[in-house]
Structure formats: C-alpha cells, structure tokens
Structure 1
Amino acid sequence: MNQLDFQEEITQFADVILPVPVPRLFTYRIPREYAGQIQPGARVIVQFGKTKVLTALVARIHPNPPKQYQAKYILEVLDDTPLVTRWQLELFNWISEYYLCHIGEVMNVALPSGLKISSQSKVQFNPDFEHPDLLTAREAEIVEEIKKRQSLTYDELARFADIKNVYHLIKSLIGKRAVIVFEEVKEKYTPKIVRKLRLTSFYADAGNLTELIRQLEKTPRQQEVLLEYLRHVPALRSPELNAHGISKSVFSKNEELSDSSLETLIKKGIFETFDIVVSRFAEDTGVIASPPALSEAQQLALAGIVQAFEEKDTVLFHGVTGSGKTEVYIHLIEQVLASGSQVLYLVPEIALTTQIVVRLKKIFGEKVGIYHSKFSDNERVEVWKGVLSGRFQFVIGVRSSVFLPFDNLGLIIVDEEHEPSYKQYDPAPRYHARDTALVIARMQGARVLLGSATPSIESYFHATQERYGLVTLSERFGSASLPAIELLDIRQARRNRGMRGEFSLALLQELGATLEKKEQAILFQNRRGYSPYITCEDCGWIAKCDSCDVSLTYHQREAELRCHYCGHKEPVPRTCPACGSTKVKTIGFGTEKLEEDLQLHFPAARIQRMDLDTTRSKTAFQQMIQDFEKGETDMLVGTQMVSKGLDFDRVSLVAIFDADRMIHFPDFRASERAFQLLTQVAGRAGRRKDRAGRVVIQTNNTQDPLLAKVIHNDYDGFFAEELEERRQFFYPPFTRIIRLTTRHIEQQVAQAAASRLAALLTAQLGTDRVKGPETPLVERIRNQFLFDVLLKFERNLNLRAIKEKIREVVEEVVTTKDFKGVSIVADVDPV
C-alpha cells in the first residue's frame, strides 16, 4: 500500500449538532461507504444514548477521534448536498453564544419539523428463531402474519391482534426470541404527488386514435371518457401535448362520466397513469404588474435610502402611518433582485402577510416565497428547498425566516421593526429577529432597512448617533391627512351616567354615524376573552389557574375559563366553589365582550373579532381581512393584530379601550409600547384623502402627557423625554440587560437558587450590575415557581467575557446538590 492509499484509508470523524439542549457538539465515526460523501451542512442519522435515533447536522469533518468516549458510527446520510449553508452554521454558533443557549436548541428551532426525522418502532420476524413450540396458538398466528408482511408497526400489530395494549404481547414474543424490534427511520417531509393520465404511445398516434374513437362507438360510455380527455388534451391536432396528460381528478370530478369505464380503458392499455411531484403553492398565471408609481415624497425617500446605503449598512426608515412605506420597499426590492441578489422581507405577524403578499405576488410573481408558522411542515420545507435551489429569490416571512438558507442576500427589510413579536420568548433560543437580521447582513454583506412609524427607542437612538442612516417620510400618501384624535373622559361620563357598559354615549354616537355613512370602524382592546376574570360578590373568591399564579380568563362562547399561560381549561362554576354563593360575576372586559355588546347596540351591523381565539386556522386571517376589504364587515374588534400594517380604504373611525392600563403597566418599556400601539392603531383610520379619519380614545385621565404626544403625533418629543428617563435610570439603550430566571416546583428551592446565583454574579460583576432576586409579575407558570435576577451593565464592557462568567456561574448553581432540578433560563436583551 503506497502513502496515498494509506491516507485514503484514514478514518474520518464528523462533529455534529444534535437537536438537544447539550452544551457541545458530539463526534461520530464516518462509515467507509460514506467517506468523501458527507459535507458540512448535511443531515445524518445518529444514535444518541441507548435508544434515541436523531437527525443531526454535520458541523465539521476531521480525522481526530474523541478522547472521552468511543465514537459511534453514523447510521445514515440524508443529504447528498448540504441542506444548511455555511452562513447558517455560522449564524447558529453566533445565536448560541449571544443568547446564552445551546446550539442544539438553535438547530431545533431553525429547521422546519418536516426536515427532522421520525422513528417508528416496527416488529420483524427473527430469522434465527428455532423454537416454534414455545408459541401459543395466537402467538403463532401473529408470527405468521409478521413473516407474511415482513414487518409491522405497533399500531398495525395491535389492529391485527385486536387488542389495545400490544406491548405485553410484543414483550412475550421478544422473550421467546421470535421477533426483533427495530426503528424504521423516515423523513417527515413528503412531496405532493399528483396522479395523471395520458394515452399510451400506440394511441397517441393520430391514425390509431381516430380508429379508436370509431371502435368505441359500440361502448358510448367509454367513448365519452376518451372524448373528455381530448377536450382537455387535443392530441389529434397536437400529439406532443399527450405526454403531459391531465390530472386523473378531472374525471372523478365529472359526475356524468363512468369511473368503471375509465378503469376499463386503463386495463385495455388505452390510457396509462403516471405520478408527478408538484408544488404545494398555486402557480400564479396572472400578468406581472409594474411597481406602483411613487409620489414626489416617496421618490425623495427612496433616493435618500439608496444614498444612505452608500455610507451605512443599516438605514432606519421613519415614515408616518399611511405614508406608503411598502411602495418604497417594492422599488428597492426590484433593484436588488435585478442585481441577482436575494431579499428577505420580515413582518412581525402573519396578519401582515395577507395583504402584503397579494400586492407583492402581483409584481414579483413566482420569485416570492412565503414562510410562517400557519403553513404546514411540508409547505415550509418546500420554501426552504426553494431558497436553496434558487426558485425563491425573495421571501416574505415572520421571525423564523431568518433561519432560511440564504447565501446571497442583498437586502433585508424589517417592517414595523419596533414590534415585540420579533422576539422569541419560549423555547430557547430567545433571539430577536431584527437584531439577528443585522448579524446575517454583516455576514453576507447585505443592507438592512428598518421601517416603522414608531421606531424602537434603541433603533432611533442608533440613528441619531449616526450608527444607522436615517430617512424620514412625514406625509401620508395621496394627500391623505392624519386622523383627528379625541380623548373621551370615561370617569366624567360615569359620573354623568353617560356610559352604556364599556361604551361612552359619545362613542356610540360616533359608531352609529359611521354605519350611516356606510363606512367602517375598528375597535381595539388589547385583551382577548370575554372577561379578565370572574369573582364571587359575597366572599371575594377569584378563579385562578392551579398551575400558574394568574386568574383564569372567562370565554363566554365556549362557556369555559382558560389560562393564557399554560392553556388549562375548565367549565365555569355555577356557584362559588369557596362559599356556595350564586353571586359569581365577571370583572373587566375583553374583545369577546366588546363584540357581544356591539351586537346589542347595533343589531344590524356586521361585526367580526380578530384575536388569537378567532384566527387559529390557516386561512382565518385571510378570510377576515378579505371580508373587511370588500366591505362585507362593518366593524372589526381586535387585539394588537389590528394595529399592524393593515390598510383599509373604508375605515374612518378607530376606537381604543383601556389605554390607561397599557400606559401604567409596570415595565420600563410601558410608555414606549403604549405610544407605539396607540399611534399604530390610530393610523388605521382615514388612509384616503376623500375620507377623513377620526380616533376616539376612552381614558380616565385626559391630561396624561403621553396621550398628548399621541394626539399631536409627536414622536420626537416622546423620544427625547423617554431617552432622558432611560439615561437617568440606567436602562437601554445606555445599558445591556440580561435576565436570568430560576425555575423549580418548590418555591423555596427556586428562591434559594436565585439568591445563590445573584451572590456569585455580584462577586464577579459588582453590586451595581446585579439586581434581585425578585419575583416576576407572574410568580408561577406550569407549576414552577420563578425568581428573576437582572443584570445591567455598560455597553462598552466586553460582552463575551461577561457571558462566559454567566455560563460558569449558572453551571455551578445547577450542578449544586441542593439545587437539583432547578433550571435557569437566560433572556438576553429582554423586551
């Protein structure tokens, strides 16, 4: 053996990412038959532990065996070419380091479920079985069935044996060495298959086909089937069209045609069936439209953005609501796609995609891919593979779109960049899609455009410090004016008996006038359900969740109480469980109650509710928005969903409830959130110059300074005041924040772990940078008690070094004997 041959025989190893919360990569041996085939970014099947079979991602290949353990062999290779790009592997590493989580957790969230592997236990006959006399008559019958079918799943075996608990039977057969249990590993993604039909090659000939038509005159039902085919595929005139055939479903949909006649023609060899793989996304055969013409102000904004991109990689586009930011985006996208680069357009909620996608599809056609959680696993896999193959050069999606396999990004647009929906809360990684987009752009040399009518304090601060470019669009499109905003004093109205439930008489008059003018109204209440909670008038009992430290929300339509944290549901009690009183009543109101009360006040009005409860299905958003756009809905009641980018011509009135609770929520971002929400919701009104918009805000305090800023659309004034307060109290953007939360089923253990965590971190970072431990607003979720430790430190400190200290301290706490079972969750840059 020469030196070259010896080198070729050197065993190769692969470090792989496993979709489990472990702090490192694992090394597996590459079998000889796969040597030279496996590439970083490909998926492989590996055994982890004694029983688990997992999908892993190859991170790197090398010749070094692990020192701490014996490397197992890779079981199977799933991809000939990488499914994950090198940019994505770099991104996974960055996210795990920055957001203090494990790289396996990043992989688990990044890959669509359809690209992961499911393993299903199957039972197979043992070829070495030598003692059939040990089997009972029933077992012998089952073994024969297994031999005949080669293998059976547990479910198939249970059905054949006609028993529910099949595990006892399998255990007996394994003990007698009659069967072997193995894991059949399957990829979850399945392509969409359409069965088609065409004439066999002999009858595709025009002469033979003419003769066939004549012969079938004796069997008219068979002739009808053939003529139906020829109506769709004119094979006599254009024989080449026969190769494409038509879907077999064409015949099954036509009730006048005989299914048996079709099957007879197939048996005779006149027709043949074949399968093709098709896209799950409907092909757009419409004419591609031109990008919309821009107003003079929009043209100036576009030119300003292009110029700013020459000096800055990131530009903040501050345009008032209704200014036409989307039209400017479209022109930018067109320029980038024409250069051959890819575009990612991020939106915070699926609700936004419904209107935007329709507009962008008309302009960019089949270049556009859509990616969000309401899609099925298979649909998301198709988009993923479409980006890899180059089919989709442009993707519109929610936060998880940052994980798609782009390798040539030219532009990332983050629309409504201020939205907290861009932040992932649970499970890890608790990443922020806006900030992650900035990192991706830096990796690939792309530009980032952050768009908002109410930018986040951090983004606007970076723009004022010239870290970002800043372009402003301060007028509405088409000469439309910003809506007039009126504050209604509901405290005064209650004193004067001017309230009807949660509606002031003035608001009811406004709503009535809107209906008379055949215009539309949006009513905003940032709380779903019928009522926040129910209570007993006699003893004060409040319905609470058994697993979480929160009250249960009353949902009238389903007649149940729900926990919005853990999903627990229970029926509404007829009497008080504490004292037996029948005086159980609801307190407060949510979107469901507003909808009900509206229907009482305006029985003839067509009312819809848009919240998490009414939009769970894949098409619910789209249908609701289409109905509203067509004018088939008069009033739309909703939560935050109605505030985000929706554009309706007929909306002339917006009503806002419970603004005070938003403003005075105990959080340092409460004022910012309230200003953004109120401004965004108000911006849905009067978006056309021929329809003046009005906004009514019901409040207990008409003198609140924040409401004055909202009325005058004074973002700069609000920003200046808020920034000074943040500076004074040492909050972002002047600091970085990391929140560490201990979780345990015993309150004392969770608290002791948090105290120990705070003490160790104080010793490392100093008392000024460590706050707590403190109990959060919700002290218990899913039967686990929570305690927070807050870290605040200067932006100029070495962030990587601080995080390394945090990792060491967290590991020390969770490995302490007294804190067994404690989990510590890190939330970097909480919002």
Structure 2
Amino acid sequence: MESLFGDLFDDLESKSARFADVILPVPIPKMFTYKIPKSLEGEVGIGFRVMVQFGSKKVLTGIIGKVHQKPPKEYEAKPILDVLDSYAMVNPLQIKFWSWMAEYYCCHIGEVMNAALPAGLKLSSESKIQLNPTFDTETSPYPLDEREEVILQALASKSELSYDECEQLLGIKSIHGIIKSLVIKEAIIVFEQVKDKYTPKVESRIRFSQPFVEDRKSLETLFDELSAKPKQEEILLKYLQEVPIYQRPELNVKGLDKRIFADAGLSMSSLKTLIKNGVLEEYKLIISRFEEIQGNDEEVTLSEEQNRAIEEIKSSFQEKQVNLLHGITGSGKTEIYIKLIEEAIASGSQVLLLLPEIALTTQIVSRLQKVFGSKMGIYHSKFSDNERVEVWNGVISGKFSFVVGVRSSIFLPFDSLGLIIVDEEHESSYKQFEPSPRFHARDAAIMLSWLHQAKTLLGSATPSFESYFNARIKKYGYVQLLNRYGDASLPEFLISDILVDKKKQLLKLDFTRLMREKIQEALNNQEQVLIFQNRRGYAPYISCEDCGWIPECEHCDVSLTYHQYSEEMRCHYCGFKEKIPKVCPACGSGKLSAVGLGTERIEESLSLLFPEARIARMDLDTTRSKYGYQRILEDFGAGNVDVLVGTQMITKGLDFDRVTVVGILDADRILYFPDFRAGERAFQQITQVAGRAGRREKRGVVIIQSRKPDHFLFDQVIKGDYKGFYLQDMAERQKFFYPPFVKLIKVSCRHKDYKLAEKAARHLHNLLLEVQVKKIMLGPEKGLIGKIKNQYIFETLVKLDKSGNAQAIFKHELRRILESMYANKEFRSVRIIIDVDPY
C-alpha cells in the first residue's frame, strides 16, 4: 500500500530546509517547489497553509506537502510570500489520503485539496485600483471621458477603490471596459488585495469597570448620582438583573451581550455615555457559531439482540477492519452506533459518522446531541463557510471528538480516528459526480480508516451488492439484525394495479382506489401518511395534444420539467428556465397538457382528493434554505402535517411514531431505469421507504402502485428476501461482466462541437485499446443524455479485470494517454473526464 504514495513523505521536516513542495488547487499532476525565505524558516512545516504566487498574476493558498533542500531543476523557485497560520491546518495523514485519492480516482492532488479544504480556508483576492503616481491629467496625451474623470476624482480623495465601489459610483453593472481604458491611458494601476476568507464570530459585550465591582459603596454612590438620569439607571439595573455581581462578582468578567440592552428597548446613547464615563466598559469576544449543548448521561436501553450484535461487531473487529451491519428497517441500528461511539470516545479515539443526505442529519443529529452534547460536531454543505471552518478548527483543537457529516466530512483533519460508521452505506448520494475528485465516500472512508488503523462499520437494511459480496467472501465481517426494535411489526405490503383501475375508471388524479382508501383510513384515525415519488416538479414535461411537441432545454438533450408553483419550465441539469407558452410554438394549438407525475402535482392532487388533510412537500425545491429540511420534519414530527410527499429524501433514516401508511406511486419508473443497478436500487428504495411505516405498536401498510404488479421484484420485497434477489441479480452481473466482478472506469469526452467530441472519443478509445491488460471496452457511444450545458458527450466504458495489477497498469497508461491527448492541438479544447466506479 505504501507504494501508492511514492516518496511524498520520505523526507521529514528539517530545521535547515530551504525548499517546500506546495500543493496548489490547480488541475496539474504535481506539487510546486517554492523557496522558504530565511524569515519564515522556523514557521513552516508539513500541513501549513502558505500564500504563494502562481504564474505572473495569481496568488493562491497552498498546503506544504514536503520540506527539503533540493532546488527545482526546471525553473527557479519563487519565495513563499507568507505563512497563514501558527499551526498546521492539515496533518500528514490527510496528505497521504489526498495522494491515494488522486491516484485511485485518476485526478490531481490539487483537485483533491480544492474539494477537501472548506472555502473559508482558501484565500480570496479582490481586484482594486489606485492612481498611477506618474499620471498627470495636464500632460497626458489621452483625453478622458466623463465617467473616467469621476473615477479619478474619487481616487484623489481615496487611496484605493474596489471594482464594486466603482460600479456603485457610476451606477453601472460592469466596470471592466472603463478600467481597461484607464489602464491603457496609464491613469491607474490595478492590483489584487489578498485576504483570508474566514472571519471569527465576534460579540460585543458590556461589563462593569473593576472599581465598581470591588467597592460596593462606590456602586451605591453611583446610583445616587444617576437618580436624575433614569435612562442610565435603567441600563445599570438591567445589567445587575442579568449579572448579580453583588452575590457572584466573578460573573462580571464575562459580562453581558450588548444586544440584550437593545432588545430590551433601552437607550443606546445612554449606554454609550456610561462607557465614555468609565462606569461600564465594552470589549470584543470571539464566540462559537454553534450553540453549547449539554449531553446527558442517560443509558441507551438495548434489546438482547442489539447487545448480541454489539458483541459480534467487537469480536469481528479483532480480525476484520470492516464490518457490515445488516439490520432490517426499524431494527435499532442507531442505538448500536451510539454505544460503539461512546466506547470509542472513552478510549481517546475520534469517531466519524457518515450520513448520505442532509435531510437525515436533522433527526439523527438532534437524537445524538442529547447523548453527546457539544463534543459532537456537524459538517455539511448547508453550513456557511465560516461554520465549516469552525468545525475544522474544532477537530484540530480536540473540541469535537465525534463528527456527524455527509461525504465531504471525510476530509476533516482527524489525527486519531478509531471508528468510522457509514450509515445507509448503499446510498448513491455517497458518490460525488461533479466536480473532480469523483469519489465514493464509503470506499474512501474505508481507505481513510486503513490509514488511521481504525475500524469501519457499514450499516444498512439493504446493503449494496458490493458490500454484501465482500461479506460473503469473508473480506468483511458480517452481523445481522433480524427483528424490529421493541418488537414492532414489519409492514403489510399491498400491490395496486394501475392499469386495472384505469380500465374500470377507478383511477382518480393518478391514485388507485386502494391507495385512496388506505390514505383516508389513516386520516380518519389521526395517523400520518408518507407518499414517495422520486421526481420533483409538477410533471416531467408538458406536451401538445395535437402535434406532440415537447419543450426541450436549449443547452441539454432533456425535456424541461414543468413547475406549476413558479409557473415555469426548468432544466434540472443546467438550470435553464422559461415561462410556459400559452399556445404550442410548433402548431399554434392551445391544447398543452402536463404529462407524468412530479411531487408538486401529487401534492396538488392530494389536496383535491383530501381537502381536510394538511399536506407538505419535501424535495429539492422546498428544502433549499439552510433549515428547510428541519422545518418540514419538525412540523411533521409535531403532528402539524398529515401527509408528507417527498423524493428519496423521505426514504431513509426518518423515524415517526404516527406514520402508518406509505404510498409508492410509480414503482415502475425506478425499476425500468436503464442502469445495471436498476433492480438493486428499486429493491433498496422500496424497502427503505416501506420501513418508515408502523415503527411502533400498530402495524403499517405499504401500497405500491404499478403497471406490472406480477414483477418478481415485488414478491421478493414483500417476503423481505434480500438474499434471494441478490443471488438472482448477481448471476446476471457475472454473466455480463459488471461489478463486483469487474472494475468500471468511464471515460467521457465533452465539447461544444459534436464532430470534434466524437472524433476525440474515437481517438482516445483506440489508444486505450492498446493498453495490454485484461479488459472489455464498450463505446464510444453518445451519452445517455447526449448534451449537457451545450457540450456534446461521448463515453467509453472500460471493464477491468479485478485480479492482479490490471487496474494499476491501466490507470498509469491512462495518465500517459491523457497527456498525449492534451499535447495534440486538435484535442486540446476537448474536456476529458475520468470517472472511476461511475455508478
């Protein structure tokens, strides 16, 4: 394994070192060597953030990956401009991890660094302008227009202006043309002001000056003096009410948040006077952006089966680094996680719990916070840049010994990981598609665990076939939970035939009679309903009833999704949107109708069928805000919502007592998707969403609407026969060479010119054919979606033999071939994307 990392860490930091290899956030396959100035020699080391010049104009944040005494041969090393921190923000284990990721996923270490560091730890540069000291309006041969003179007059009274300030000054949207003209006329100089993005949260606090705290009589005298000034007296009384310094004078050190006085409606000018007269003093305090939460010491009550599972997991960890916990929905996997996390933290180790969706963090996080309090950090993309930097720093400082997060949390600066738990390990959300590195968080977590000599627990009710395969061949340990926690019953499954109801005219607003009856029954009993449809929007598309016209995206080969609420059609790939036409642009007909089902349309249909029901929708459109997920789930949990309609967000991890009915509206759409994993994912999604029903005393009901109710998959879902479905599907995969029997690599060529994209793909395909390893190659073919964001896509799929060193050889040759492609002028503008484990 060590060979993966080359000689990146052969040299230890040396006091006499004069050069540093710096990782920069650029897509170039190497580190860059910079000279360490004598003034900084004692301040740098591996993992330190530094500011360096890259090229003639750019200033970038880099991370030192190696310190040595060898000057570069190809170029003269530039000096490091500055060291940004007094301690390393990245540790050597992280750099090893980045190096492995770059090699395994065929990308560059700079791209990994760019994905790993929160934006708040990267420098930003802001373009500014200043007067050219050699410029003289009288002697200049260039005439100035009115707007240029306004800029120069402003610079005469202010030493510098940002581009934004110039735009506001002139009241225009783009200033670049005017700036360019002034530069040509040598009237101004453009420069970059580099600044650190992260800013700590600062609170203004008020406290009594020390003499008044130490001498009670002086405080009494002060009140006598202020008797004629009631506004100042009110402020002092408010302070003493909140901070009883007579009884506990030590509380004065911390003081009181200044905003408390404003919120109470007290006079801010009087407060200012008291500060000016030395009665009160104002000071700044850096505070956490996260609320302090006290964890409790309550024992988590475990069932006999859960205790058995924990003992089996710990026993298996003696021999295996990775364990698969296969527990049916509602079997109590979270309680097992809590017990294992507690034990790992008690041993002095750090713990990472990975979740696939931000939606999951809302309910599980509040549950975990009750146990772990503020020693638990949370890390996901809805957090601001500053909040993510605080979590990063909290891991370094030891404030957070346990972190719950989505896939990006594998990049946090852990230095003593003891346990990684990957919940819902089968989830496709763990795969990063854009931009590079296109990693899978579950697989990367296993490697991260190996680097730390830690253990990994994969948890799922419907494990990925790869993980289950590894468990069956004894590569992973395997522990099973067969019963629901608290002896709750598994739900009853009912299949409802859409076509039969349609023929009998019993289908109303896309709901079969059986589905309507069961929803009404739940509503009558004051119970809750979940409706699952993995498609947001009102309908997949609109169509002309007369000529069949369907609106398509101008930039992608997809139809536009109809969103009724915003009265527009949107592309879910590039974001293009346009208003709904009144008449068909192709034939002029006014007969435009919505085709298919989206969550928005289902929400509307439910409100017509059940006008008394309180209905909410949970999809990407309704959860864009930071606390969008939390608000909807809190309403549902509090009983303020009767029916929740949602996409895959509602299929996993959610635990509500009163949900007794789950409806799956269009199971066929999941089942017949053109992907070798379609059956696996259909089984997983149906089982997972069904698991939200009847998690307490009353048995739940799951209604599946389908046009093919006799499909063998439904029978196996109803029986809960995961193993039977696995064996049947794996026989197909082995026959046609799909994972886990081969390793897949997808190579895509993208360009705005169709012919050039196709030509590049064919040329690249032919070069890959020459690589002497055991493989099967499919393509090049036009992508499933042939154009995205005005770029045509051609793909080659490579199936590599898993035995021996076929992967290492192929990836090495692939890098060499890509270099030759980019060296070819004809193909230099073609974007080539490598996706390892693409599905």
For the aligned pair, the TM-score class normalised by the smaller chain equals over 0.9
Please, which of 246, 253, 276 is the counterpart of residue 243 of structure 1? 253
How far residue 149 of structure 1 moved from its aligned partner, in angstroms, is 4.1
Q: In the alignment, which residue of structure 2 is the partner of 1:5? A: none
SS of residue paired to 2:301: coil
How far residue 812 of structure 1 moved from its aligned partner, in angstroms, is 2.2
Superposed, which structure 2 residues align to 1:655-666 within 5 Å? 655-666=663-674
- How many pairs align? 821
Q: Write the distance in 1 (CA, Å) between the matches of 2:174 and 2:741.
A: 61
Q: Write the distance in 2 (CA, Å) between the matches of 1:723 and 1:76.
A: 56
Please, which of 168, 176, 192 is the counterpart of residue 183 of structure 1? 192
How far residue 815 of structure 1 moved from its aligned partner, in angstroms, is 2.8
Q: In the alignment, which residue of structure 1 is the partner of 2:757? A: 750
- Alpha carbons of structure 1 residues 381 and 148: separation in structure 2 relative to 1, 3 Å: same
**1:273 equivalenced with 2:279 (yes/no):** no
Q: Write the distance in 2 (CA, Å) between the matches of 1:168 and 1:523.
A: 54
Please, which of 226, 229, 235 is the counterpart of residue 219 of structure 1? 229
- Alpha carbons of structure 1 residues 766 and 30: separation in structure 2 relative to 1, 3 Å: closer
- Alpha carbons of structure 1 residues 252 and 754: separation in structure 2 relative to 1, 3 Å: same
Q: Is the 8 A contact 2:750 2:794 kept in 1?
A: yes
How far residue 484 of structure 1 moved from its aligned partner, in angstroms, is 0.6
Q: Write the distance in 1 (CA, Å) between the matches of 2:563 and 2:172.
A: 40
| Matched AA of 2:521 | A
Q: In the alignment, which residue of structure 1 is the partner of 2:624? A: 616
Q: Deviations over 1:719-747 (max 9, x none)?
A: 11112111111111111111111111111
- Alpha carbons of structure 1 residues 161 and 681: separation in structure 2 relative to 1, 3 Å: closer
**1:759 equivalenced with 2:766 (yes/no):** yes
How far residue 201 of structure 1 moved from its aligned partner, in angstroms, is 2.2
SS of residue paired to 2:616: strand
Please, which of 763, 780, 784 is the counterpart of residue 777 of structure 1? 784
Please, which of 7, 11, 19 is the counterpart of residue 13 of structure 1? 19
Please, which of 741, 754, 761 is the counterpart of residue 748 of structure 2? 741
- Alpha carbons of structure 1 residues 162 and 592: separation in structure 2 relative to 1, 3 Å: closer
Range with bigger deviation, 306-315 or 160-169: 160-169
**1:45 equivalenced with 2:51 (yes/no):** yes
Please, which of 371, 375, 379 is the counterpart of residue 371 of structure 1? 379
Q: Deviations over 1:742-782 (max 9, x none)?
A: 11111111111111112111122469521111122111111
Q: In the alignment, which residue of structure 1 is the partner of 2:680? A: 672
Q: Write the distance in 2 (CA, Å) between the matches of 1:635 and 1:777.
A: 35
Q: In the alignment, which residue of structure 1 is the partner of 2:799? A: 792
Q: In the alignment, which residue of structure 2 is the partner of 1:546? A: 554
How far residue 814 of structure 1 moved from its aligned partner, in angstroms, is 3.4
How far residue 638 of structure 1 moved from its aligned partner, in angstroms, is 0.5
How far residue 390 of structure 1 moved from its aligned partner, in angstroms, is 0.5
How far residue 801 of structure 1 moved from its aligned partner, in angstroms, is 1.4
**1:121 equivalenced with 2:130 (yes/no):** no
| Matched AA of 2:69 | P
SS of residue paired to 1:502: coil
| Matched AA of 1:207 | K
SS of residue paired to 1:600: helix
Q: In the alignment, which residue of structure 1 is the partner of 2:10? A: none
Q: In the alignment, which residue of structure 2 is the partner of 1:691? A: 698
| Matched AA of 1:770 | M
Please, which of 821, 829, 838 is the counterpart of residue 821 of structure 1? 829
Q: Write the distance in 2 (CA, Å) between the matches of 1:50 and 1:643.
A: 51
**1:68 equivalenced with 2:84 (yes/no):** no
SS of residue paired to 1:811: helix
How far residue 178 of structure 1 moved from its aligned partner, in angstroms, is 5.8
Range with bigger deviation, 151-160 or 49-58: 151-160
- Alpha carbons of structure 1 residues 425 and 165: separation in structure 2 relative to 1, 3 Å: closer
How far residue 827 of structure 1 moved from its aligned partner, in angstroms, is 0.7
- Alpha carbons of structure 1 residues 165 and 548: separation in structure 2 relative to 1, 3 Å: closer
Q: Deviations over 1:23-52 (max 9, x none)?
A: 221122222211231111111111222222
Please, which of 206, 209, 222 is the counterpart of residue 216 of structure 2? 206
Q: Is the 8 A contact 1:194 1:277 kept in 2?
A: yes
Range with bigger deviation, 324-333 or 141-150: 141-150
Instruction: Please report the TM-score for the alignment, with normalisation by the length of structure 1.
Output: 0.96
SS of residue paired to 1:769: strand
Q: In the alignment, which residue of structure 2 is the partner of 1:254? A: 264
Q: Is the 8 A contact 1:742 1:788 kept in 2?
A: yes
Q: Write the distance in 2 (CA, Å) between the matches of 1:202 and 1:821.
A: 72
Q: Write the distance in 2 (CA, Å) between the matches of 1:666 and 1:319.
A: 29
| Matched AA of 2:251 | L
| Matched AA of 1:700 | R
Q: Is the 8 A contact 1:771 1:790 kept in 2?
A: yes
**1:94 equivalenced with 2:100 (yes/no):** yes
Please, which of 89, 107, 111 is the counterpart of residue 105 of structure 1? 111
- Alpha carbons of structure 1 residues 161 and 810: separation in structure 2 relative to 1, 3 Å: closer
Q: Write the distance in 1 (CA, Å) between the matches of 2:148 and 2:826.
A: 51
Range with bigger deviation, 289-298 or 363-372: 289-298
How far residue 627 of structure 1 moved from its aligned partner, in angstroms, is 0.8
How far residue 707 of structure 1 moved from its aligned partner, in angstroms, is 0.8
Instruction: Please report the TM-score for the alignment, with normalisation by the length of structure 2.
Output: 0.95
Q: Write the distance in 2 (CA, Å) between the matches of 1:575 and 1:176.
A: 54
Q: Deviations over 1:270-317 (max 9, x none)?
A: 111110000000111x45142411011111111111111111111000
How far residue 160 of structure 1 moved from its aligned partner, in angstroms, is 4.9
Task: Report the identity percentage.
Answer: 52
Q: Is the 8 A contact 1:769 1:792 kept in 2?
A: yes
| Matched AA of 1:780 | K
Range with bigger deviation, 92-101 or 799-808: 799-808
Q: Write the distance in 2 (CA, Å) between the matches of 1:754 and 1:470.
A: 43
| Matched AA of 1:222 | Q
**1:507 equivalenced with 2:515 (yes/no):** yes
Q: Write the distance in 2 (CA, Å) between the matches of 1:9 and 1:736.
A: 45
- Alpha carbons of structure 1 residues 164 and 464: separation in structure 2 relative to 1, 3 Å: closer
Please, which of 322, 337, 343 is the counterpart of residue 345 of structure 2? 337
- Alpha carbons of structure 1 residues 636 and 442: separation in structure 2 relative to 1, 3 Å: same
Range with bigger deviation, 546-555 or 160-169: 160-169
How far residue 71 of structure 1 moved from its aligned partner, in angstroms, is 2.0
**1:481 equivalenced with 2:489 (yes/no):** yes
Q: In the alignment, which residue of structure 2 is the partner of 1:380? A: 388
SS of residue paired to 1:35: helix
SS of residue paired to 2:409: helix
Q: Is the 8 A contact 2:821 2:828 kept in 1?
A: no
- Alpha carbons of structure 1 residues 147 and 9: separation in structure 2 relative to 1, 3 Å: farther
SS of residue paired to 2:42: coil
Q: Write the distance in 1 (CA, Å) between the matches of 2:166 and 2:563.
A: 43
Q: Is the 8 A contact 1:814 1:824 kept in 2?
A: no
**1:722 equivalenced with 2:729 (yes/no):** yes
Gaps of at least 5 residues in structure 1 are 1-7
- Alpha carbons of structure 1 residues 176 and 433: separation in structure 2 relative to 1, 3 Å: same
SS of residue paired to 2:703: strand
**1:326 equivalenced with 2:334 (yes/no):** yes
How far residue 67 of structure 1 moved from its aligned partner, in angstroms, is 1.8
- Alpha carbons of structure 1 residues 141 and 354: separation in structure 2 relative to 1, 3 Å: closer
Q: Deviations over 1:595-642 (max 9, x none)?
A: 000000011101000111110101010011111111111001011000
Q: Write the distance in 1 (CA, Å) between the matches of 2:703 and 2:324.
A: 30
Please, which of 20, 23, 30 is the counterpart of residue 29 of structure 2? 23
Q: In the alignment, which residue of structure 1 is the partner of 2:468? A: 460
Q: Is the 8 A contact 2:23 2:32 kept in 1?
A: yes
Q: Write the distance in 2 (CA, Å) between the matches of 1:213 and 1:466.
A: 79
Q: Write the distance in 1 (CA, Å) between the matches of 2:181 and 2:557.
A: 47
Q: Is the 8 A contact 1:209 1:236 kept in 2?
A: no
Q: Deviations over 1:83-134 (max 9, x none)?
A: 0111110011111100001111111111111111110122345566678765
Q: In the alignment, which residue of structure 2 is the partner of 1:264? A: 273
- Alpha carbons of structure 1 residues 258 and 733: separation in structure 2 relative to 1, 3 Å: same
